[in-house]
Amino acid sequence: MGRLSTVLCGIELDNPVIPASGTYGFGYEFAELYDINCLGTFSFKGTTKDPRFGNPTPRIAESASGMLNAVGLQNPGVDAVIREELPKLKQVFHKPVMANVSGFSVDDYVYTASLLDKEEQVGWLEINISCPNVHGGGMSFGTDPKAAHEVISAVRGAVKKPLIAKLSPNVTDIAAIAKACEDAGADAVSLINTLLGMRIDLRTKKPVLANVTGGLSGPAVFPVAVRMVYQVHRAVSIPVIGMGGVSSAEDVIEMMMAGASAVEIGAANLVDPYVCPKIIEQLPEVMDRFGINRLSDIIGITK
């Protein structure tokens, strides 16, 4: 393994840098800008059983040190992803890719994940359990340990590939949610998803977003993400993927010291589409500055 290498659920990555779902499309869009094979991998756009148009506009709003989004899982549906998107991706990306799966019921998750599990290029299934559970009074799967256990256990029984539970930060005890996912058979957890936020237009006196609330991402959430990664790493024995406001090589190293085996980068891709290759290029210099020989040596080093 090289200086930047890391291992995620038994699959070696050349480096820990992973563009996060929802900020990188299906990859081939960014392949027009640079060779995306420089990445460790990436998590493609959140995919549901059926096509989704998403929420009404406006669904993006700026905020100090971040942004709010309420896109609403816009995607063409799993059948179109398999039929159209993955073949285009295969032409430009030659590593295993992370499939992000969303749903509104346990059956939805199982259906979508089981189809993507059969795709050769899919290396991991990232199960987004922060979507509303419409069969349970609107409660999110990711805010209740029992509900999180239920969906991860059901998907685990239907797929063979490594299963990553993507966790919501909008909880009192994220370690309890992570432990429930581990007990249900998750091979790793990724965190954090966005924090629930809101902005008001002072002129109209109405919410800026048509959805009223949206997910806050960007540098503003980084300290919260580091804290939660640290807590979860100490609570579980499976790998942790850290994300939330990461925008520099120093941020990647901080996340790994907190306990992350790999690091996803989200909103920063929307600010600078070249941010991921820049971070990969800068990592060796930052490692030298702090006396780090290999990134794998610092995972969870902070006590």
Contacts of 241 (CB under 8 A, 6+ apart): 8, 18, 164, 188, 189, 190, 191, 260, 261, 262, 263, 264
119 domain-assigned: yes
262 domain-assigned: yes
256 domain-assigned: yes
Predicted TM-score (pTM) of this structure: 0.96
Residue-level pLDDT at 54? 86
Between strands 66-69 and 214-217, the pairing is antiparallel
- The average confidence (pLDDT) of the chain is 95
Residues of the domain holding 112? 6-297
Q: What would the pLDDT profile of 178-224 be if each residue is shown by its tens digit?
A: 999 999 999 999 999 999 999 999 999 999 999 999 999 999 999 99
* Cα distance between the two ends of the chain: 25
| pLDDT band, very low/low/confident/very high, at 140 (cuts 50, 70, 90) | confident
16 domain-assigned: yes
pLDDT value at 291 more than 80: yes
121 domain-assigned: yes
Q: What would the pLDDT profile of 41-79 be if each residue is shown by its tens digit?
A: 999 999 999 999 988 999 999 999 999 999 988 999 999
**Strand, coil or helix: what is 100?**
strand
Q: Which of 9, 38, 131, 276 is catalytic?
A: 131
Residue-level pLDDT at 131? 59
303 domain-assigned: no
Pull the structure tokens for residue 192. Answer: 């954090």
Residue-level pLDDT at 130? 76
What CATH number is associated with residue 158? 3.20.20.70
197 domain-assigned: yes
pLDDT value at 139 more than 60: no
pLDDT mean over 92-108: 95
Task: Give me the phi and psi of 7, to 5 degrees please.
Answer: -120, 130
pLDDT value at 149 more than 50: yes
302 domain-assigned: no
Residue 131 annotated among the catalytic residues of the structure: yes
How many domains are there within the chain?
1
CA distances from 17 to 48, 163, 262 (A): 25, 19, 7
Task: Give me the phi and psi of 181, to 5 degrees please.
Answer: -70, -40
pLDDT value at 132 more than 90: no
**Strand, coil or helix: what is 265?**
strand
